[in-house]
A and B are shown apart, each in its own frame.
Chain A
Amino acid sequence: MESVAWDTDVSRILAELESLRDTKSVIEQRILALEAQLREINLRNEVSNCDSCSPTSVLDSNSPNGLSRDAIYRYSRQLLLPSFGVEGQANLLKSSILVVGAGGLGSPALLYLAASGVGRLGIVDHDLVELSNMHRQVIHTESYIGQPKVKSAAAACLKINSTVQIVEHKEALRASNALQILNQYDIIIDATDNAPSRYMISDSCVVLGKPLVSGAALGLEGQLTVYNYKGGPCYRCLFPTPPPTTACQRCADSGVLGVVPGVIGCLQALEAIKIASAVGESLSGRMLLFDALSARIRIVKIRGRSLQCEVCGENSTFTQQHFREFDYEKFTQTPLTVPPLKLNLLPVESRISSNQYSEIISKKEPHVLVDVRPSHHFKIVSLPKSLSIPLSTLEARLPEISSAIRKEEDDVEVASGSSVQLYVVCRRGNDSQLAVQYLQKMGFASAKDIIGGLESWSKDVDPNFATY
């Protein structure tokens, strides 16, 4: 009875949340529309009456240096820099920068680009804000969970600087739309998280002749460079052949300390600002390697543009048409938008669902549950009475499984004709299949895995069980 009341409570709250979110979204749409109208009116007034500067105007053709009174005050600390000054700021205000990816790298990059006064700032992302993003994707706030990242990022940028023109591209970047989107901007920032996007963005920058500020971060390390700029290499000059898919780890699997992409994203904004304002010396031809754990930053010299490069080389025949038809997913053997890997290695009789396992527990059927996730995953959350044997140590620890089965036989009265069962679980149900394959080969013929792993346990059996 209690659980029924609890369920009703939850569904009532969920329904109200949904309706509130709908109302909120309608109000936000209205605010955006009104703001646009206001900008339009201000802009018209400005044209008809140049004496009264609207608060949103930045560039002022009447002022000797082209900056409006408000812009001079807003950017005064940058104008005071002799090596940046009015010229640098004016160049920046006339420039347009596109940030592909509003995630860990894109978040700080966008915040600083908006704050510093880039004229037009584009954001590309197809994803929604999730709770597990918040630790590193600092542009998003909790109230935007479930909403498009582009929308959340645009709102945050406008809150800092309402005079910047923000363009939302709420879609995934693909070979079919990349040229059309990138072509609207002077400088491109690659803040994506996968290999096919990196090749695709670099190739389109070569085809369109745009400088590319490329950053990457994983775990406790980051990398940064500028491609296709002032005789420097493109991504393909450096990496003509894509790496094996096993070498392409994702933050969702390997983890990342939030501040690490933060550091790299800030540096990406810096490089883009330098190029846009035409100051300083860019990282083109050099690469910055950041090791957070040992507090080391190393800047190394990399090769220049390769004459043999298939895309930017002397004899390259790579055109916009080639680009549109190039299959980046096939080339890197990685999907552009990364769905979690779903292996299917075992016959159905060697697998059980999380609901079936839940019944096994409630019927107190004698069994041993082996959890093959790495031990630092096991420490985050685990099922009661599961035995932690990481997949990488399975071979050496088979005797522990045998003795756990014997102990279960001794402890529980096993009904005649049945025996102690062996089940294997992992995070999503991939490694558990590899483990079962191995266990069956090593004589544990009845070993079975739990389909979908702990994620399905949380989804289908116990919603209070933590996911990560």
Chain B
Amino acid sequence: MMQLTLEFGGGLELLCESKKIHNVNVEPQNGSDKLIMKDLLAWVRTNLIKERPEMFMKGDTVRPGVLVLVNDCDWELSGQLNTSLEDKDVVVFISTLHGG
């Protein structure tokens, strides 16, 4: 079991019952001891997203306009879907805002 903190912002929290911070335990997939972001996205979609999943994901990744941050760092810098997660990591999903 891996203990993770997941945060949703910029309106994405509306997809998970308006709750922004989720402390969760996620089992690594397929008997492996490693959890990568691709697995986590699938887990989030199944377990946390309660409505309009298309506002969170497109294909097997997040929809355009969503930034993913692993431990306060853009997931583009850590390998995107292949980013390996470790116990106690903080993953933030944030939808970009346009208002002003």
Q: Do A and B bind each other?
A: yes
Query: Which residue numbers of A lie inside 8 Å of B, CB to CB?
Result: 101, 103-106, 191-195, 198, 215-219, 221-223, 238-244, 246-251, 254, 256, 261, 264, 287, 289, 291, 294, 298-303
Q: A249, B65: Cβ atoms under 8 Å?
A: no
Contacts of B69 on A, CB cut-off 8 Å?
300
Instruction: Please measure, in the bound complex, the distance between the C-alpha atom of A250 and the C-alpha atom of B11, giving whole angstroms.
Output: 12
Cα A72 to Cα B66 in complex, Å, equals 47
8 contacts between A and B (CB under 8 A): A198-B98, A218-B11, A218-B97, A238-B96, A243-B64, A247-B63, A256-B99, A264-B100
Q: Which residues of A contact B100 (CB under 8 A)?
A: 101, 103-106, 191-193, 215-217, 251, 261, 264
User: What size tier do the contact residues of chain B reach?
Assistant: 20 to 34
* Inter-subunit contact B72/A218 (CB<8 Å): no
Contact B99 A250 (CB under 8 A): yes
Q: Which residue of A lies closest to B99 (CB)?
A: A218
Check A289/B9 contact, CB under 8 A, given A193-B99, A193-B100, A302-B74. yes
Query: CB-CB < 8 A to A302: which residues of B?
Result: 67, 74, 76
Cβ-defined contact, B94 with A289, below 8 A: yes
CB <8 Å contact, B73 and A218: no
Most-contacted residue by chain B among A219, A240, A243 (CB, 10 A): A243
* A191 contacts across to B, CB distance below 8 A: 100
Q: A198-B98, A301-B77 are in contact. Are A244 and B63 (CB under 8 A)?
A: yes
Task: Tell whether, in the assembled complex, residue A242 and residue B11 are in contact, meaning their CB atoms are under 8 Å apart.
Answer: no
Q: Quick check: A300 and B98 within 8 Å, CB to CB? A: no
- Bound-state Cα–Cα, A289 to B95, Å: 11
B10 contact from A223, A238, A299, Cβ within 8 A: A223
CB pair A303–B65 under 8 Å, yes or no, is no
A301–B66 CA distance with the chains assembled, in angstroms: 15
- Chain B residues, Cβ within 8 Å of A289: 9, 92, 94
Q: Tell whether B55 is near chain A: CB-to-CB under 8 Å.
A: yes
Q: A221-B10, A301-B74 are in contact. Are A244 and B97 (CB under 8 A)?
A: no
**Residue in chain B with minimal CB distance to A240:** B64
Residues of A near B97 (CB, < 8 A) are: 216-218, 221-223
**Residue B38 interfacial (CB < 8 Å):** no
Residues from chain B with a CB closer than 8 A to the CB of A300 are 69, 72-74, 92
CA distance A287 to B76 in the complex (A): 14
A216 touching B99, Cβ below 8 Å: yes
8 closest Cβ contacts across the A-B interface? A243-B65, A218-B99, A241-B64, A216-B97, A303-B76, A105-B100, A193-B100, A302-B74
* Cα distance, A198 to B20, chains bound together (Å): 26
Contact indicator A291/B99 (Cβ below 8 Å):
no
Q: B96 near A218 (CB under 8 angstroms)?
A: no
CB distance from B82 to the nearest CB of A (A): 15
Contacts of B67 in A (CB 8 A): 238, 287, 302
**CB-defined contacts of A303 to chain B, threshold 8 Å:** 74, 76-77
Which of A106, A243, A254 touches B99 (beta carbons < 8 Å)? Answer: A254
Q: Which residues of chain B have C-beta atoms less than 8 A from A254's C-beta?
A: 11, 99
Residues on the B chain within 8 Å of A248, using CB: 98
Q: A219-B11, A291-B9 are in contact. Are A298 and B72 (CB under 8 A)?
A: yes
Most chain B beta carbons < 10 A, residue from A103, A222, A248, A261: A248
Q: Which residues of A contact B72 (CB under 8 A)?
A: 298-301
Q: Which residues from 51 to 87 on chain B have a C-beta closer than 8 Å to any C-beta of chain A?
A: 54-55, 63-67, 69, 72-74, 76-77
Tell me the bound Cα distance from A241 to B63 in angstroms: 9
8 Å CB contact of B64 from A105, A239, A249: A239
Pair A251/B99 contact, Cβ less than 8 Å: yes
- Greatest chain A CB density within 10 A among B20, B65, B69, B92 is at B65
CB distance from B77 to the nearest CB of A (A): 6
Report which of B9, B76, B94, B95 forms a contact with A243, defined as CB distance below 8 A: B95
Residues on B with C-beta less than 8 A from A243 are 63-66, 95-96
Smallest CB gap from B95: residue in A: A247
Further contacts, 19 of them, CB under 8 A, given A191-B100, A247-B63, A256-B99 = A193-B98, A217-B99, A218-B10, A219-B11, A240-B64, A241-B64, A241-B65, A242-B64, A243-B66, A243-B96, A244-B64, A249-B98, A251-B99, A254-B99, A291-B9, A300-B73, A300-B74, A302-B67, A303-B74
